[in-house]
Chains A and B, each alone.
Chain A
Amino acid sequence: MQFLEIFLGILTAMGGFVEIGELTFMLNAGSKFDYRLLWVVALGTIGIIVFGEIAGRIAAVRGQGLFHVIRERAGIRLGLLTLAAATIVCLLTCAAEIGGIALLWQLMSGLPYRLLIVLALAFFLLASWFLPFKWIERIFGLLGLFMVIFIVLACKVSPDWSSVVAGLVPSLPQGPTDQRLLQSYYAVALLSSVMLPYETYFYAAGAIEDKWTAKYVPANRVIVILGFLLGGTLAAAIMIAGKSLLGPLNVEAQLPGTAAIVVAVELGRAGLCCALAGMFFAFAGAAIETAFSCAYNIAQFFGWPFGKVRAPRTASRFTFAWIVAFVLSAVVVLTGVDPIRVVEYSIVFSVVILPLTYFPLMALSRDRDVMGVHVNGVIANTLGWFYFVVICIAAAAAIPLLVLTHGGEG
């Protein structure tokens, strides 16, 4: 594998790390809880590195996507339940991203919101139909790097770095019961937003699209560790910006425009343009990844031909599936539902399906008969099971916390 390919893979992984839900939760968590939840970002980043590496390794060694593995290991009953839940979560996330893009375009053009949703749908259908996989991956991943403006912003606001470092140390929620519940809710939501399952689905599917083989295992490790680590840094920078700029004003980010204004206040017009471009490509990338994840998952589960490397009429049901995913997602936001509320629910429900997704991965990746010399080592096994316990606890707590905090309203 060429050095350039690994380098681009790292940047693409970083550029595709943040989406609308993560952006909103990071800003609000910073605004409400200062740096006290930074450790959750660190925890989630290592978690997505662990499972991303395992998923990429399985794809490289076996040439199989996640839902092939889930079907083989979990069987039809549990597998179908996981598929249904993953599809709903991906559709909700895709709907939120399309809504987020329409809101961004409305901010720039003033055109009606619903018209912009239809235009966004047309944009996604055309881009996904005509662009090859490599281009989709590179364009939206690399141009999503405009989001790095948030790291510039975090440095510009000169945070108290000792407090930032202190935030990386895990701590229990403090204060009155409702505050503790709200902080716990945010901790679960942040963990879920960093470890969103579609990132793993799409990453593994991308490895198959790129025809990875066992010789890509070391490259997979480098891309996942560096790419997601940089992505986690970007997420932390957004939280720092939220604490420094929204916290003192007691403002809650309810629209993507809030994030843009945060940048504009400190970095002026150039910063605003970078933030808007970064958000557009980040949301658009996430919309395509989630719609395609629906199609990849269903195709892998039922054994259909899939992939952008095949002609649409050869992988016809796969193609039809992503078209339907985009249309259904657009219909969800066309009903007038608030995309930020949609993404909040999709993120909380995502954590519920994480154990269902990751258990078959762990079961297969530690099976020497199947993985040969690429079976999990001590580190992958220890971290994998540790994170499995963590996501099981988060999954069990997610719905009760959602109810007890009135959907995060406190």
Chain B
Amino acid sequence: MRRSKPRGNLDLYRRVLDHGLVDADGLPCGTVDEIEAAGKPGEPLEIVALLVGPAAWTPRLPALFAIISRLLAGSRLVRVPWSEVAEISEQIRLRSTAVALGLGVTDRRVGRWLARLPMSGYEPK
């Protein structure tokens, strides 16, 4: 069921939007919250980037919930260029690491805080 990045038709709604992102090291690094496309009337649309972060998913909510969610989750937005997509399968696999793409910033920040606790680096075999 795995398929590399398709060159022909791609059902963006079913295969890309709201799917998980995995970086080059296999680490989950967010979800495709919105898709940025470019094109002119009469021309085929071209996918430019995948958008990740609260600023991408909150506008998809009803207005009141969008405001509340933005207050709670912030307004961070990361653009992942479409050229970074290596493979589309159950998840979207990226060519670069999360650090290089600016993804998972909060994870690393909370991780530094948790690192002060004993056994925070312990990974069961």
Contact = CB atoms under 8 A, between A and B. Distances in A.
Contacts of A77: 60-62
A314 B123 contact: yes
Interface string A63-91: 11000100110011101100000000000
B61 A303 contact: no
Contact of B60 (A64, A76, A302, A312): A76
Given A76-B33, A76-B57, A305-B28, A311 B90 contact: no
A63 B90 contact: yes
A122 interface: no
A371 to B, nearest CB: 8
A76 B18 contact: yes
Contacts of B113: 316
A316 B110 contact: yes
A370 B89 CA distance: 10
Contact of B31 (A302, A309, A372): A302
A193 B120 CA distance: 35
Interface stretch (A32-40, A127-135, A165-173): A127-135
A130 B119 contact: yes
Interface in A162-180: none
Interface string B88-114: 001100000000000010111011111
Contacts of B20: 64, 68, 303
Interface residues of A, number: 36
B70 interface: no
Interface string A311-338: 1111011011000000000000000000
Interface in B19-35: 19-21, 27-31, 33
Among A133, A308, A317, A372, max chain B CB count under 10 A is at A317
A314 B111 contact: yes
A62 B33 CA distance: 20
A369 B11 CA distance: 13
A156 interface: no
Contact of A304 (B18, B60, B107): B107
Interface residues of B, number: 36
B18 A79 contact: yes
Contacts of A150: none
Interface string A361-401: 00000000110100000000000000000000000000000
A319 B124 contact: no
Given A76-B61, A77-B62, A305-B27, A134 B111 contact: no
A137 to B, nearest CB: 12
A366 to B, nearest CB: 15
Contacts of B61: 76-77, 80
Among A132, A310, A312, max chain B CB count under 10 A is at A312
9 contacts: A64-B91, A68-B20, A75-B60, A77-B62, A304-B104, A305-B107, A314-B111, A317-B106, A317-B107
Interface of A: 62-64, 68, 71-72, 75-77, 79-80, 129-130, 132-134, 301-306, 308-314, 316-317, 319-320, 369-370, 372
